[in-house]
Amino acid sequence: MKLAFLGLGKMGRSILKGALDRGFLRPGEVGVVGRTPERAQELAQAFGIRPLSLEELPQAERVLLAVQPRDFPHLAPEIAFPGVGYLSIMAGVSTALLARRLDTRRVVRAMPNVAASIGESSTALTALKEAREAGDLDFARALFATVGDVYEIPEHLFDPFTAMSASAPAYLALVAEALADAGVKMGMPRVLALRLAAEALAATGELLKARHPAQVKDEVASPGGTTIHGLHALEARALRAAFYEAVEAATRRGHELGEVE
Binding residues for NADP(+): 6-11, 66-69
Q: List helix spans (H) across the chain.
A: 10-21, 37-47, 72-79, 95-102, 129-133, 136-145, 158-161, 168-185, 190-208, 213-220, 226-236, 239-257
Other residues' Cβ atoms within 10 Å of the Cβ of residue 73: 13
Nearest CA-CA partner of 249 in 172, 167, 177, 174:
167
Binding site, annotated residues = 6-11, 66-69
Strand order in the sheet with 3-6: 50-51, 30-33, 3-6, 62-65, 85-88, 107-111, 121-127, 148-152
